[in-house]
Amino acid sequence: MFCTNCGRDLPSCTKTCPNCGFAISIPEKENQGKKTSQIDGNFYGNHNNSNENKYNKPLTTARFFFVQLLFMVPVVNLFFIILWSLKKNVNTNLKAYSRSILIWLLIASLLSIFALLTFTFIKNPLPFNIFSMRINF
């Protein structure tokens, strides 16, 4: 048996590498045929957690289409955007998409308020000029 971190030869009963201290996964007899995922950091092969998989699945085309359609409804969209952005147990892709839409809505709102104030002051300027204030005695 070899350490998957440093590559050193290990005795078969070792649970941690004496060289680097890395925890060694010892496959059970039932799970010897299954590969453990080293890309996502899961060295123990615990892929049976359905809640974790449910929240990390990519959105299907139909679900993505439904979400976009739902975001077009004026009042309902704000409710779902805020709910999915802040709720803990939501699909991570849906949460990220909702947060991006929320950020775009905030940017659009701020730009709209700025444009409204700018056009209001252009139409109705201040009654005095700030830059050339003269005091007449």
Inter-residue contact 105 to 81 (CB < 8 Å): yes
What the block records as the tokens of 50 is 């359905």
Which tens digits make up the pLDDT trace of 5-62?
Answer: 777 777 777 777 877 777 776 655 544 544 544 444 444 444 455 556 778 888 889 9
What average pLDDT score do residues 102-128 get? 86
Backbone angles phi, psi at 2, to 5 degrees: -125, 150
Say how far apart CA 12 and CA 9 lie, in whole Å.
Answer: 9
| CA dihedral (100, 102, 104, 110) positive or negative | negative
Which tens digits make up the pLDDT trace of 65-90?
Answer: 999 999 899 899 999 999 999 998 89
Backbone angles phi, psi at 77, to 5 degrees: -65, -40
With cut-offs at 50, 70 and 90, classify the pLDDT of residue 109: very high
Q: What is the pTM of this model?
A: 0.52
The pLDDT of residue 125: 67
Query: Read out DSSP for 29-72?
Result: STTTTSPPBTTTTBTT-----HHHHHHHSPPPHHHHHHHHHHTT
